[in-house]
Structure 1
């Protein structure tokens, strides 16, 4: 039996293959196939400057000479408008790299030491040399030259044969329910990209049980809401409710019959169990992911690989006389970063408050609308408009957050590239998290709880009354916001992800001259790799370079953006899942599309990403663990504070008819709705109700109205029942979080991060390496 999920076992197809998590026939000691050598390891593109006296031309020449001084071979292939510099590194550089790997403290026993330096490694080394080479006179690096338009683009070439194979087996829509060739992806794009798709596939696979259970919880509420005594009590009620805003009118409780049914779909006993399940699920997902990842990095021989160790090796390969970058720490810089981060968080939270103000003012204005539906449902329409505006805010702030995070990393001056990436990831995720969840946190825990009571309403600048929870329940507000944001975010993002690259490539093709020059010296078709030994003429080389140049640009943020999108989705799926049990189902459907969408972009529509080596998903693991902890806290608070689960529980066992009755025919929840309502006399001078608010076409001669709260009808003070419910709420939150945290620790302990086969394989490899070292050593 194979040690990895995803293999075919005993003639059956593993479920992982069906949904497209993995589909490989790997084996221990696997070596990547030998690629047909490309013409160049890397390509620089610049405008074809004919004036040899211009500053741009001089800098181009100076940088090319600097590369030649490092023994890189440079070929210049001019076009009518562009000039392509094909860069190829000599064998000696890679031999030096292999030797340094062998003697290093980490990165041992990788396939580079076993007689083969794959193209992905060649590209990575050349890319490092290019970005760490400067013009001696001015000290300008490639990044500086590109900002000054000395060079327009840089990229590594797609391999036609491997690209075609990936397109056929992976990067196409008809492969949505087929497996992912993870090892082939790794050989072509590097371990970093491969682990992203491995993680995304594993996340998608484990969403299946969460989505199924979420649908069951939804169907449970759907099956019983018609027969629920709570629904009947609302729908048959003649209770007159107080106005919900300063311009609103009194209304019958029975008017929210449909909304009460919707609220019960997501606020029932099944939701509590589902929230506990999802909190534990987040831990199980991460622990099984660590185990799943370990089997692959062990097979790829990168289990002990160190990013900072390889960075040192690259620096020596680039410059044998380099000096080590010293570890430094500045308290002043740390304080500055902390101050700016705090300022950004205050700004983001301020935007969430601005959305609250928008909804308050919009609800008042919509009440005067000439459209009857809008005026009758002003609060609901204002809530949906606020959710759409929240989405637009998220889109704008995403760009702002990235710029600020980059600037803060520049202030920190982290020593290594790996450290810079970790620092940027943490800052960017923190900003994005608050951008997306600040408004949801307000809706879940503050909406309707700080707006006061009749006679003492809280008002903005003494004019606009704060918004109430939806009459059907506070969870409806949270559900609507989550549904709008998740659906809009996923649909719009996917539309832009697929149409953006297509349109960009189409426009670039239109702008570029499409002069086709048929090559008579070699017959190389568009999607074929030249045969071994075949010499490409300049025209064929130029066509291949132009084909890669026309593809969409990629940068260091390309993969980061995909990770950030999926981790934010993971946060939505786990943190407020108690209010939206269908979130895992939406995430599952989105991810099935997302895997192929990202694959099509990377293989067919974008330039080839520079292959990066790694053995994990980096700081994202820590981020996911933090989200798992937040999921426990948030779901406990949503059930204990926001939902009516605790008030119903207290009523059933302490205030309801079953408390003193032993008759089995008594409905324990009878009278619950009226128990949650407080009553006021409308002629109380402190209430300031307008006469127009107290009369409708159906309601006349109103003497009293009700509102949802536990207050005395005389002095509006809180009743003992309120304090009892509050105490039970707090006790439930503490109990819920402790029970779930214990379950999380048990799950983490029960699932080891590496399987026994992985441990035995590593032990075998280390023993084999030590024996080989011993056999090659001479003792005196």
Structure 2
């Protein structure tokens, strides 16, 4: 039509790197094999004074890159200067050749084009190992703000494909395109999502069984003699603190007893054994699952040290290898610092104990009747919330300390630093999360003493006691609050933060999009040159990536740490919280898409890293599996009332003589677990006052009951206590031996790799040897 400006065709737009998305022309980076693609981008503040040291170092570093035949494109924008880095083809040819002749050969002969992910990894290594005259590298220059940022560019086309097939909320119940993720983000990121997806999938059986155990306890709400005995009792219980606490009736804890029945029942033992074996099967099947993908990606024989040597040679043919060193002095210093840090974290657990004790007293003295009645439960919940706040603060401190300790070690390579940091950071985080839980599980109510001999903090405040329905309820409350707060609040901040940052930066990006569209919409005869000549479009893409949230080498570590801590919650104390696998399953379904959306659209592109395993996390997960066996055995044997009930049923209950009766065998169990303290006893007169012994009915009690197995006369431990203690330890030993045997059988029964994978690797090695022989004979 005359006067109408002809628009370029869709094919031409795609050739230029422009596609139409949601009605707008979006510029894409050109295909990776064209000379227009950039392997890396450096960003710096514009320095007006050329005599400044920072400007000289910036210029010197760029000149060093050019000496290595790097093509550097410089674009200015307001107060920023962008350097687009393109590596010469010769660098990648060297890498391909060295990889082919190495022992860990995994490069297919039909791969003639180096993928952009590999190019990025090589250029990233070269940039970080290119020093200037003063010996400073890029990391040093960034610390002193010579450069403001460094990043590799998102590929718009592949980014859009990943967004449509993976990084969207509507794909929550779909599978993951792991190979596409690997091609874009590298093997390290792909293996994280592969592991997370496999972990989520295998959480389905324990989640279902956990619900069954929960419903099993729910089914006995109305028929359980233990609940009836608590809810219908008129037993007067001793005050839970010295000042402000009154005597109370056992029936006041009726709700507490019902909650306890939901998870402290006979099904808990089976569930704990199942989860201990599940942890082993999970690791065994994960290794098989991983082996299939690693074989497909041709990285089965990949060696981290050899990869590092190849990159060193590619960067500098005259390089010298970094030799291994070990210093007993530095190792001793690091060990001492780690021990001190762990003791500090355990000290915070003691502070939480003091807080709960004081909070219970203050709530008991308060004017609100509801809070004073449930002062102990309220103190426990407040303690759990405070514990969560301590976790947030200590996470930052732990990270700083772990990094400083890695600097003291002077590790040989970044991979060694990452491994050392992972072990230290996980150790600190584990103690931060679980110290308080271990206290509640194994010490709460067992070191508080008895009437006339209570253990007090600073000689003033009595330690906490367990409710007659058991201490496991307190552990359940702690775990439930921490897991719910951690998973919900963390996910909200994890997604909302990057999203808000992108929203605030969108106006500038849209302005550049309009400039780029104007640049591209020319006559078709000129459009082919537009992709090379239009700096606005390059700048638009670079600014778009620059304004995304920054990532570093430890960004993936944060995701792994979060999930491994959750794995610990799901396995170690699962006997106290059967619904933990269900919460983990729901969280992980959301977490996979949340991490994918954040990584694809809200953050800068991670540097693709090659690997064939999840690294030291495998050892951490196996250690957690072993600890889960020990912890669950101790929780059932020592923390729960399973053993005392068993002893009562067959030794002290109405069915102990073996005769058939029409009475439930557990009738009278609650009264059997209580001991009596008398007011007229001289040893208890300092613990109770007439005000404290005033009952809700208005009369003074002459005695009260407390949970323990002690004599009424001299408060000595009864023979029943020693019998129960012996059975407890016998059960723990038996439980752990049985589960360990099952774990070894399961690990032996399930091969670490499918036979198809082993055969494929066998034939692949044979074909490569034959090819080398033919080359030799030729």
Could you say if the C-alpha distance between residues 37 and 653 of structure 1 is closer, same or farther in structure 2, counting changes exceeding 3 Å?
A: farther
**Shift, 1:280, TM fit:** 0.4
**Shift, 1:226, TM fit:** 1.6
1:109 matched residue in structure 2:
106
**Shift, 1:378, TM fit:** 1.2
1:553 matched residue in structure 2:
550
**Shift, 1:532, TM fit:** 11
Could you say if the C-alpha distance between residues 354 and 321 of structure 1 is closer, same or farther in structure 2, counting changes exceeding 3 Å?
A: same
Q: Which moved more, 1:38-47 or 1:164-173?
A: 38-47
**Aligned partners of 1:119 and 1:697: how far apart in 2?**
77
Q: Is the 8 A contact 1:402 1:428 kept in 2?
A: yes
**Shift, 1:315, TM fit:** 0.8
Specify the SS of the correspondent of 1:702.
Answer: coil
2:291 matched residue in structure 1:
294
Structure 2 residue 713 is matched with structure 1 residue 714:
yes
**Aligned partners of 2:33 and 2:203: how far apart in 1?**
36
2:25 matched residue in structure 1:
none
**Shift, 1:51, TM fit:** 2.4
2:217 matched residue in structure 1:
221
1:84 matched residue in structure 2:
82
2:16 matched residue in structure 1:
none
Q: Is the 8 A contact 2:33 2:113 kept in 1?
A: no
1:609 matched residue in structure 2:
606
Q: Is the 8 A contact 1:102 1:113 kept in 2?
A: no
1:388 matched residue in structure 2:
385
Q: Is the 8 A contact 1:447 1:474 kept in 2?
A: yes
2:73 matched residue in structure 1:
75
Superposition pairs of residues 695-706 of structure 1, within 5 angstroms: 695-706=694-705
Please point out which of 440, 447, 452 is paired with 1:450.
Answer: 447
Could you say if the C-alpha distance between residues 274 and 37 of structure 1 is closer, same or farther in structure 2, counting changes exceeding 3 Å?
A: farther
2:14 matched residue in structure 1:
none
Specify the SS of the correspondent of 2:705.
Answer: strand
1:15 matched residue in structure 2:
none
**Aligned partners of 2:250 and 2:633: how far apart in 1?**
29
**Shift, 1:535, TM fit:** 3.0
Superposition pairs of residues 86-165 of structure 1, within 5 angstroms: 86-106=84-104, 108-111=105-108, 114-136=111-133, 138-165=134-161
**Shift, 1:49, TM fit:** 2.0
| Coordinate RMSD, CA, aligned | 1.7
Please point out which of 30, 37, 49 is paired with 1:51.
Answer: 49
Specify the SS of the correspondent of 2:85.
Answer: strand
Superposition pairs of residues 200-349 of structure 1, within 5 angstroms: 200-247=196-243, 248-349=245-346
Could you say if the C-alpha distance between residues 80 and 152 of structure 1 is closer, same or farther in structure 2, counting changes exceeding 3 Å?
A: same
Which whole-Å deviations, capped at 9, do the CAs of 1:472-520 have from their partners, x for residues lacking one? 3201110000000000000001000110101222334568895652455
**Aligned partners of 1:413 and 1:649: how far apart in 2?**
56
Specify the SS of the correspondent of 2:664.
Answer: coil
Specify the SS of the correspondent of 1:694.
Answer: coil
**Aligned partners of 2:533 and 2:350: how far apart in 1?**
63
Which whole-Å deviations, capped at 9, do the CAs of 1:593-652 have from their partners, x for residues lacking one? 000000000100000000000000000000000000000000000000000000000011
1:172 matched residue in structure 2:
168
Could you say if the C-alpha distance between residues 637 and 155 of structure 1 is closer, same or farther in structure 2, counting changes exceeding 3 Å?
A: same
**Shift, 1:701, TM fit:** 3.0
Could you say if the C-alpha distance between residues 368 and 84 of structure 1 is closer, same or farther in structure 2, counting changes exceeding 3 Å?
A: same
Which whole-Å deviations, capped at 9, do the CAs of 1:95-140 have from their partners, x for residues lacking one? 101111112122x13248732310000000000000111111x211
Q: Is the 8 A contact 2:520 2:530 kept in 1?
A: no
What TM-score, normalized by structure 2, do the two folds share? 0.93
**Aligned partners of 1:34 and 1:54: how far apart in 2?**
37
Specify the SS of the correspondent of 2:82.
Answer: strand
Q: Is the 8 A contact 1:519 1:539 kept in 2?
A: no
**Shift, 1:38, TM fit:** 5.3
1:579 matched residue in structure 2:
576
Specify the SS of the correspondent of 1:85.
Answer: strand
**Aligned partners of 1:343 and 1:478: how far apart in 2?**
27
Q: Is the 8 A contact 2:468 2:670 kept in 1?
A: no
**Shift, 1:66, TM fit:** 1.0
Please point out which of 399, 419, 436 is paired with 1:402.
Answer: 399
1:187 matched residue in structure 2:
183
2:758 matched residue in structure 1:
759
Please point out which of 448, 466, 469 is paired with 2:466.
Answer: 469
Specify the SS of the correspondent of 1:705.
Answer: strand
**Aligned partners of 1:663 and 1:760: how far apart in 2?**
63
Specify the SS of the correspondent of 1:752.
Answer: coil
**Aligned partners of 1:112 and 1:36: how far apart in 2?**
21
What TM-score, normalized by structure 1, do the two folds share? 0.93
Which whole-Å deviations, capped at 9, do the CAs of 1:505-542 have from their partners, x for residues lacking one? 23345688956524555349xxxxx9899535211111
**Aligned partners of 1:315 and 1:429: how far apart in 2?**
31
Structure 2 residue 675 is matched with structure 1 residue 678:
yes
2:61 matched residue in structure 1:
63
Q: Is the 8 A contact 2:690 2:700 kept in 1?
A: no
1:16 matched residue in structure 2:
none
**Shift, 1:699, TM fit:** 4.7
Q: Is the 8 A contact 1:36 1:532 kept in 2?
A: no
**Aligned partners of 1:210 and 1:427: how far apart in 2?**
30
Could you say if the C-alpha distance between residues 587 and 640 of structure 1 is closer, same or farther in structure 2, counting changes exceeding 3 Å?
A: same
Which whole-Å deviations, capped at 9, do the CAs of 1:701-745 have from their partners, x for residues lacking one? 311111110000000000000000000000000000000000001
**Shift, 1:471, TM fit:** 4.3
Could you say if the C-alpha distance between residues 728 and 35 of structure 1 is closer, same or farther in structure 2, counting changes exceeding 3 Å?
A: farther
Structure 2 residue 375 is matched with structure 1 residue 378:
yes
Could you say if the C-alpha distance between residues 252 and 569 of structure 1 is closer, same or farther in structure 2, counting changes exceeding 3 Å?
A: same
**Shift, 1:160, TM fit:** 0.6
Q: Which moved more, 1:142-151 or 1:485-494?
A: 142-151
**Aligned partners of 2:549 and 2:35: how far apart in 1?**
23
**Aligned partners of 2:48 and 2:323: how far apart in 1?**
44
Structure 2 residue 567 is matched with structure 1 residue 570:
yes
**Aligned partners of 2:505 and 2:455: how far apart in 1?**
57
**Aligned partners of 2:762 and 2:258: how far apart in 1?**
60
Superposition pairs of residues 341-740 of structure 1, within 5 angstroms: 341-509=338-506, 514=511, 516-518=514-516, 520-523=518-521, 534-687=531-684, 688=686, 689-740=688-739
**Aligned partners of 2:658 and 2:61: how far apart in 1?**
91
Could you say if the C-alpha distance between residues 50 and 190 of structure 1 is closer, same or farther in structure 2, counting changes exceeding 3 Å?
A: same
**Aligned partners of 1:196 and 1:52: how far apart in 2?**
45
Number of positions where the alignment pairs a residue of Structure 1 with one of Structure 2: 740
Q: Which moved more, 1:196-205 or 1:545-554?
A: 545-554
Could you say if the C-alpha distance between residues 36 and 752 of structure 1 is closer, same or farther in structure 2, counting changes exceeding 3 Å?
A: farther
**Shift, 1:697, TM fit:** 3.3
Could you say if the C-alpha distance between residues 208 and 187 of structure 1 is closer, same or farther in structure 2, counting changes exceeding 3 Å?
A: same
1:778 matched residue in structure 2:
777
**Mind listing any 5+ residue stretches in structure 2 that lack a counterpart?**
1-30
**Aligned partners of 1:661 and 1:617: how far apart in 2?**
56
Q: Is the 8 A contact 1:519 1:537 kept in 2?
A: no
**Aligned partners of 1:120 and 1:253: how far apart in 2?**
66
